[in-house]
Amino acid sequence: MREIVAKRIGEVVKKLCVEANTNLSEDVAEAIKKALNKEKSPTGQEILRQIQNNAGVAWREKLPLCQDCGLVIVFVEVGQEVHIIDGTIEEAVNNGVRDGYKDGYLRKSAAKDPVKRGNTGDNTPAIIHTEIVPGENIKIRLLTKGGGAENCSAIRMFKPTSTKEEINNFILETVEKAGPNACPPIIVGVGVGGTFDYAALLAKKSLLRQVGERNSDKETAEWENELLVKINKTGIGPMGLGGTTTALAVQIEKYPCHISSLPVAVNIECHAHRYKEAFI
Amino acid sequence: MKSVIQKIQSPITDQAVKALNIGDKVLISGKIIVARDSAHQLFGKNLPFKPRGATLYYASPSPTRKGQIIGSIGPTTSTRMDRFTPDLLKLGVKITIGKGYRGKEVIAAMKKYKAAYLVVPGGIAAANSKYIKKSTVIAYPDLGSEAVLELEVVDFPAIVAIDSKGHDLFVQGKKKYSVK
């Protein structure tokens, strides 16, 4: 049994919030670079260059990459040999978010009530997913997600007899509808299977991969490639002004489901993909 | 579609707005009003700024660090402001700036009142804060990051997405690069 003080989790979350918002991850930078080499539209190229330049300014001046510093989504994988003391995971994570957003001069984008609105003022509460895993470590995977792209996400319950083509059409339809609003070039997270809620979680979890990392299942990896080609043929392009880079990657996660169901969720992520992880 | 670089002053004249064409790169100097969802809801008849020739930017910055002019600032999704836009164009607003599509009613009002819609790429908010020389809260300070700001900008870059003739770069650009 390993004891971990809850406060330690908060400190890590705080650091990850600031890093995710100000330091563009290498995998995203690499994906943008690759896209720039292939982009055919001059306006599209110009936008991709601006994205590269912005990452430099943000890093040097400790400014957020995007003014929408997102709602914080935290996946906490707790080793079953770990005993958390002096507090709870939930408190610790929210304390970390609160401190990170205050000290990091990050915009607070959490509405207090979904209908009556108002701002919680400190960007809490975070969306927290905990999972018990083997071992005596804690892994924290943190995503700060902007509202524009999240709003373009969709879910549909297909029939078990639906074809792959019908699913592809739904995903393409979602991307087309999102168009410029999702801040393309986007990352398309797809969850296939499970239940209504679990498909959406799978879609979100697919975004935790390194950008462009293919699914370990060969057939699913090929499906990802096939969809990426289709999406980049739409012509939507960077910021929707036309071009050959609409998506940087398609990332699919699958799970078994009920014999009557085939849920498919599409979680759209903007090019300012802010993700960091750490071990305790 | 031949795109050119145009330097413009804001508030802008009718003539200068009419000269903007889709795909043009625009460098704006002068005053820009920043407002988004909550401020639009509060606008009503007494606007906290002079609408004639005004440029309205849909945004809300991250907090300002000590010694700096403003935090990171980039556009939010314009569609959410569509329901308020025709009335504002009628009052004389000439340029709106944001990201993403505009609705049919907005485009029709843009043609009618001769206005342009510009796009600033989303997610490049750190770099875009560098064109801002002054920022003042002019209304609704209680809204926090959604308060109405007046910015003084120099050579603030944007791209004309929909012009006063109703041409739409989202439609034309997509068509040009789509592969069947």
Tell me the pLDDT tens digit for each residue of A21-78. 999 999 999 999 999 999 999 999 999 999 999 999 999 999 999 999 999 999 999 9
B159 vs B173: CA distance, rounded Å: 12
Nearest to A239 among B23, B122, B177 (CB): B122
Indicate yes or no: CB of A181 within 8 angstroms of CB of B101: yes
3-state secondary structure at position B162 = strand
Q: Which pLDDT score, from 0 to 100, does residue A234 have?
A: 97
Fold of B5-165: fumarase (3.20.130)
Q: Which pLDDT score, from 0 to 100, does residue B180 have?
A: 81
Quote ipTM for the complex: 0.91
CB of A112 within 8 Å of a chain B CB? The answer is no
Closest CA to A271 of A106, A62, A47, A41: A47
Q: Which pLDDT score, from 0 to 100, does residue A30 have?
A: 97
Domains in chain A with CATH codes: 2-22+65-145 (3.30.360), 148-272 (3.30.1330)
Indicate yes or no: CB of A68 within 8 angstroms of CB of B179: no
On the 0-12 / 13-18 / 19+ scale of CB atoms within 10 A, B148 is: buried
Nearest to A119 among B76, B130, B144 (CB): B144
Neighbours of A218 (CB within 10 A): 9
Cβ contacts of B22 on chain A, cutoff 8 Å: none
Tell me the pLDDT tens digit for each residue of A119-177. 899 999 999 999 999 999 999 999 999 999 999 999 999 999 999 999 999 999 999 99
Contact B131, B156 (CB under 8 A): yes
Indicate yes or no: CB of B99 within 8 angstroms of CB of A53: no
CB of A122 within 8 Å of a chain B CB? The answer is no
A129 vs A131: CA distance, rounded Å: 7
CB pairs under 8 A between A and B: 160
Across-strand partners of B153?
B30, B132
Q: What is the pLDDT along chain B (180 residues), one digit of tens a residue?
A: 567 999 999 999 999 999 999 999 999 999 999 999 999 999 987 899 999 999 999 999 999 998 999 999 999 999 999 999 999 999 999 999 999 999 999 999 999 999 999 999 999 999 999 999 999 999 999 888 899 999 999 999 999 999 999 999 999 999 999 998
Closest chain B residue to A181 measured between Cα atoms? B100
The percent of residues above 70 in pLDDT, for chain A, comes to 100
Cis peptide, bond prior to residue B11, ω within 30 of zero: yes
Cβ contacts of A61 on chain B, cutoff 8 Å: 126
Cβ contacts of A50 on chain B, cutoff 8 Å: 121, 124, 127
Indicate yes or no: CB of A241 within 8 angstroms of CB of B119: yes
Cβ contacts of B60 on chain A, cutoff 8 Å: 67, 107
Cβ contacts of B69 on chain A, cutoff 8 Å: none
Q: Which pLDDT score, from 0 to 100, does residue A56 have?
A: 96
Tell me the pLDDT tens digit for each residue of A238-275. 999 999 999 999 999 999 999 999 999 999 999 999 99
Q: Which pLDDT score, from 0 to 100, does residue B1 have?
A: 56
Contact B99, B119 (CB under 8 A): yes
CB of A31 within 8 Å of a chain B CB? The answer is no
Contacts of B32 by beta carbon, 8 Å cutoff, 6+ apart: B10, B55, B56, B57, B97, B150, B151, B153, B156
Q: Which pLDDT score, from 0 to 100, does residue B2 have?
A: 64
Tell me the pLDDT tens digit for each residue of A66-118. 999 999 999 999 999 999 999 999 999 999 999 999 999 999 999 999 999 88
